[in-house]
Structure 1
Amino acid sequence: VSQATVSLVLGARKQGATISEETRRKVLDAVRALGYVPDPAASRLAAARNNLLGVFSFTSTFPTDVQHSYYPFLVGVEQEAAARGYDLVLFTGSSTGGAGAAGPNALARVRLADGCLFLGRHAPAEELRRLVADGFPVV
């Protein structure tokens, strides 16, 4: 069978394509026999999504004072992300606990994710407004 047929059988988007049940079964049998695992980077590129949720902290994510730790909150974020098929990516803006993100346009790298949760009090309002205006999902 062709690469296109395999893509149609394995892909989530069928868009009117019809594959016979016999061909579908043969492709799936070959997938199992060969131990084929789809390349997640290629799948994410084709889907124009990567199933990554960003967490960006403007203060230290791992403070020494346990009372101010984000740990319990992040555990809940991780559980909800996993339940919805997402992985988390931690973006660090300040490893010292100081105010603000390091460097100009530091928030640009959050676009690697499908959306981002921002933590901390010293967020650059103009950059966040720009992300929202561009349609990037933020919390």
Structure 2
Amino acid sequence: MRTVTIADVAKHAGVAVSTVSYVLSGKRAISATTRRRVLDSVRALGYHPNAGARALASKRANVIALVLPLRSGMNLPVLMQFATSVVTTARQYDHDVLLMTADEGPDGLRRVAASALVDGLLLMDVEIHDTRVPLLRELVEPSVLIGFPADPSGLTCVDLDFARAGALCAEHLADLGHRQVALLGAPHVVYERGTGFAERTLAGFVEAARRHGAEAWARPCEESFDEVHATVKVLLDEHPDLSGLVVHNEAAVGHVLAALRMLGRRVPGDMSVVAICPDDVAERTSPALTSVLIPAEDVGRQAVRLLMAKLDGQAVPESTLLEPRLTVRDSTA
């Protein structure tokens, strides 16, 4: 079978070869009608431009790196929601995604930047004192962080407002009349690393609970049933009047509900439970959980859009915080 060429695409679309090149490289503005006609011809003919030639012509690799170190205590299904959103959004900008899962710190960033394999970088699992941050301020390649370090100056960061998410949960329970509430947070190792989203959720929860006149406690929460059961039991033994619980560990949500049943606590009759998690996690439990959504798709989409804008030389805001929303279901009363 003969290889389809750029000339074939131009003939099929009824445009010049240079117009096809401009549409594929993005080097010049092309009208929406012409662009659509060219892309329709590309799809109809099954044309695959040579990546090396395209990169030389545009001085771009048309690849972005998603730096997602797979560390202990991370919930893989939720992380994959973020990654899927990044990949699908990047394709809308004619970019592929290089997924970097090794925990290499600054060395990994230096290596991929020096290779000229990528046009820009997206970073996840951002810590309060993240060792990668100083290097990001020096790199020529633009970057966007999904998360916030302690000092975000000179960076571009996007995330759910986790401090507000924690506060929303506490406020909801306080408004229902609960005066002793607790947070079952991320696994202990996540707090040991100083991971930003976990620290901010905890701070927002405790501050809002106390502002509303409620006593608040917090415990790290592991992912196995035995560990969750032990944590919940200790919490109830120490605070027998505890009546409101917030769970910020997607992998532990089902275990928490099962542990409460085994310990003789009805939800929501004896214990109101709120989760910070994706909607599909909250909706498939029994009872369905009142929850604050983790908007992985929206955050991933926003991160890619910000990175693409930076690649095009556009000014972007340093900080983008998505407002959390709480959906009331059957687990709070």
TM-score where L is the length of structure 1: 0.57
Q: 2: CA distance between counterparts of 1:68 and 1:77?
A: 14
Q: 2: CA distance between counterparts of 1:77 and 1:36?
A: 24
Residue in structure 2 matching 1:11, options 3, 21, 27: 21
Q: Structure 1 stretches of 5 or more lacking a match?
A: 1-5, 16-31, 95-99
Q: 1: CA distance between counterparts of 2:77 and 2:96?
A: 24
Identify the residue that residue 51 of structure 1 maps to in structure 2.
62
Identify the residue that residue 77 of structure 1 maps to in structure 2.
86
Deviation at 1:91, TM superposition (A): 2.1
* Structure 2 residue 171 is matched with structure 1 residue 128: no
Task: Give the 3 Å change call, closer, same or farther, for CA 44–69 of structure 1 in structure 2.
Answer: same
Task: Give the 3 Å change call, closer, same or farther, for CA 43–70 of structure 1 in structure 2.
Answer: same
Q: CA RMSD in A?
A: 3.3
Taking every aligned residue pair, what percent have the same amino acid on both sides? 26
Identify the residue that residue 172 of structure 2 maps to in structure 1.
none
Q: 2: CA distance between counterparts of 1:36 and 1:87?
A: 17
TM-score where L is the length of structure 2: 0.27
Q: 1: CA distance between counterparts of 2:134 and 2:80?
A: 28
Measured against aligned partners, the alpha-carbon deviations of 1:29-52 in whole angstroms (never above 9, x if no partner) come to xxx8xx985422111112101211
Paired residue type of 1:127: L
Residue in structure 2 matching 1:116, options 102, 118, 121: 121
Q: 1: CA distance between counterparts of 2:85 and 2:47?
A: 33
Q: Structure 2 stretches of 5 or more lacking a match?
A: 1-6, 8-15, 29-44, 145-333
Paired residue type of 1:80: T
- Runs of 4+ in structure 1 deviating by more than 4 angstroms, as ranges, are none
Identify the residue that residue 107 of structure 1 maps to in structure 2.
109
Secondary structure of 2:22's partner?
coil
Task: Give the 3 Å change call, closer, same or farther, for CA 38–71 of structure 1 in structure 2.
Answer: closer
Paired residue type of 1:117: L
Task: Give the 3 Å change call, closer, same or farther, for CA 129–39 of structure 1 in structure 2.
Answer: same
Larger RCO of the pair (alpha carbons < 8 Å, separation 6+): 1
Is contact 1:54–1:117 with CA below 8 Å preserved after alignment?
A: yes
Larger Cα Rg: Structure 1 or Structure 2? 2
Deviation at 1:66, TM superposition (A): 3.4
